[in-house]
Chains A and B, each alone.
Chain A
Amino acid sequence: MQVYLPIAEVSVSIFLLIGLGGIVGILSGLFGVGGGFLMTPLLFFIGIPPAIAVATEANQIVASSFSGALAHLRRKTVDLKMGWILVSGGLIGSGIGVQIFKVLRDLGQVELLVTLCYVFFLGIIGSLMLWESIRALIRSNNNIRPVKIKRHNWVHRLPLKIRFRTSNLYISCIPPFIIGALVGFLAAIMGVGGGFILVPVMIYIIGMPTKVVIGTSLFQIIFVTGFTTLLHSTQNYSVDALLALILLIGGVVGAQIGTRLGVYLKAEQLRILLAILVLAVCIKLGLELLIEPTELFSLQEITK
């Protein structure tokens, strides 16, 4: 059964879309990743114009992060003060990102920017994930304890210090603001929540306790992707609400299945598969830039 997507202006099989949403949902439930960084390139591969894929994915992440954040808010595992600082940075980053996106779209270079960003970030994440999971396998076999994280580093010497009661921290608000802005920028140009950057930075650089990290990052992602959705719809008219809704249906069900599967499966070993998948998407996007395309010309509707 085909569904005509009103903003993307293409007909796609509804089962394909629900299936994609479901698979990415299962992966995100299984590994605790947002899934935006996999869904957006998959949307390119099935023929959704990149500008539409990015903006629509931001819209979908509003739903998945809200759903996740609700559970954390109930358990009070959200550092709201830290969250708001991350949000304020995120809004600025997103604003800058959407403006750059708009300018490059008019110049016909937005696809290039999005693809380059994906090749770069997927390459880094995939390699790190693969490296980490191989090390974890070796570690579990040899029973070596992980290295303890240092809680005092250069971050603690910066000015404008604020006390964060929930995180039990007294640090400068500059690093969270900057990392919030970077994630907001990536949300605008890549259609990702940015949890894959936010979470490690919060743990390793800011030094937040692990139990509040996921909830706080989800809290920030709701506002930032919401704002990004709003900006993309007013600046680029590129949010396809119907596409977002269909992906959502597969996504939320998949995430629940994934969470339960995680109980039975050894996620550490499966993480290698996720790493390989991420690297495969990275390589496919990279090759598209390197190999001479069969059609050198492309047609664009003028959106004014």
Chain B
Amino acid sequence: MKKILLLTFLVLFMASKFIYAEENNDALVSDIEDKVVEITSNFNGSELFIFGSREMNDNITEGIKSGIIIEVIATAKTRKIRKKERKFGIWVNDGEKVLEGVPDFYYINSSENIEELLSEDEINNNDIGIINHLTKNNNDVNSDFINALIRIKKRKNLYQFKEGELEFKNDILFSTKVNLPNNIGEGFYVIKTHLTDGTNVTSVDKQLLVVKKIGLGNFLFEMAHKTPLIYGIFSILVALFAGWAASETFRRLRG
């Protein structure tokens, strides 16, 4: 069922591409299945389906690899990272760095290893890869801290590296599924698809995914941060009511 759905998507997508072919001169087109991911109280992760097509360029000489790089980058935020040291025989936090421009979530996938698709200069110029991204924003920070951030995020499945794993349906169509874990944060997620000719990025297409909290969880989060006093009173009242209800219920049960 899911496969049929995906195929339909691809076909419709291709059809729209040919219909608008004259207006759209891009050699690369991409899209995503759902534009919004809602974090509800029973949210247990989600899947993001990215698909697209590239135009085979006749001018590309034989033997040169034309490839695709897909990145998913969440809203950049400021984060603090701390390092533990042994002091007085126990392990305590000692030393911290503030990192700017840290996305909560990052994903990269490509048809080949990045180094085979782009020259080193081009990788840096286009800010491809999370290390480039973080180093550029924090060039005064020791790389130990940046590497630790990536390691921690990777362990939580919030940074995913799938370089060389992107597959084509034929030479033109490509698609991939991104596993969004249940600990992702709110924000705007940019899906950047790069078309490369073996040395340079020839075309970039961007899509936007909105991740937002909804329902009871969102209500509580908003109240806790925007009107903390009311939230505090509300929390106490809920607890008092629950305590009273428990006391009454068990008093009746005892008779």
A residues contacting B by CB (< 8 A) are 1-7, 9-11, 59-60, 62-68, 70-71, 108-109, 111-112, 226, 229-234, 237, 239-242, 244-245, 248, 252, 256, 288-293, 295-302
Which residues of B lie under 8 Å from residue A65 when comparing CB positions? 243
Contact of A67 among B39, B80, B216, B243 (CB under 8 A): B243
Give me 16 A-to-B residue pairs in the complex whose CB atoms sit less than 8 angstroms apart, sorted by A's number. Answer: A4-B42, A7-B220, A62-B240, A63-B239, A67-B247, A226-B236, A230-B229, A234-B229, A245-B242, A248-B239, A288-B91, A289-B92, A290-B91, A291-B91, A299-B81, A302-B78
How many residues of chain B are within 8 Å of chain A by beta carbon? 58
Q: How far is the CA of A45 from the CA of B217 in the complex (A)?
A: 23
Which residues of A lie under 8 Å from residue B246 when comparing CB positions? 63, 67, 252, 256
Which residues of B lie under 8 Å from residue A1 when comparing CB positions? 42
Q: How far is the CA of A288 from the CA of B213 in the complex (A)?
A: 34
Q: Min CB distance, B98 to chain A, in Å?
A: 7
Q: Does the CB pair B220–A242 fall under 8 Å? A: yes
With an 8 A cutoff between CB atoms, is B93 at the interface?
Answer: yes
Q: Does the CB pair A295–B224 fall under 8 Å? A: no
Q: Does the CB pair B243–A63 fall under 8 Å? A: yes
Q: How far is the CA of A129 from the CA of B162 in the complex (A)?
A: 54
Q: How far is the CA of A298 from the CA of B91 in the complex (A)?
A: 12
Q: Mark B222-243, 1 if CB is under 8 A from A, else 0.
A: 0011001101111110111011
Q: Min CB distance, B157 to chain A, in Å?
A: 12
With an 8 A cutoff between CB atoms, is B17 at the interface?
Answer: no
With an 8 A cutoff between CB atoms, is B148 at the interface?
Answer: yes
Q: How far is the CA of A8 from the CA of B242 in the complex (A)?
A: 21
Which residues of A lie under 8 Å from residue B243 when comparing CB positions? 62-67, 70, 252
Residue of B nearest to A61 (CB): B239
Q: Does the CB pair B89–A290 fall under 8 Å? A: yes
Q: Does the CB pair B231–A4 fall under 8 Å? A: no
Given A1-B42, A63-B239, CB of A295 within 8 Å of CB of B220: no
Which residues of B lie under 8 Å from residue A9 when comparing CB positions? 183, 185
Residue of A nearest to B85 (CB): A296
Q: Does the CB pair A3–B42 fall under 8 Å? A: yes
Which residues of A lie under 8 Å from residue B81 when comparing CB positions? 297-300
Contact residues of B between 78 and 92, Cβ < 8 Å to A: 78-86, 89-92
Which residues of A lie under 8 Å from residue B183 when comparing CB positions? 9-11
Q: Does the CB pair A297–B232 fall under 8 Å? A: no
Residue of B nearest to A62 (CB): B239
Q: How far is the CA of A288 from the CA of B84 in the complex (A)?
A: 12
Q: Min CB distance, A35 to chain B, in Å?
A: 14
Given A2-B182, A297-B82, CB of A289 within 8 Å of CB of B91: yes
Given A1-B42, A2-B182, A67-B247, CB of A297 within 8 Å of CB of B148: yes
Q: How far is the CA of A237 from the CA of B227 in the complex (A)?
A: 10
Which residues of B lie under 8 Å from residue A291 when comparing CB positions? 91
Which residues of B lie under 8 Å from residue A10 when comparing CB positions? 183
Given A70-B247, A289-B91, CB of A241 within 8 Å of CB of B82: no
Which residues of B lie under 8 Å from residue A233 when comparing CB positions? 224, 228-229, 231-232, 235
With an 8 A cutoff between CB atoms, is B96 at the interface?
Answer: yes
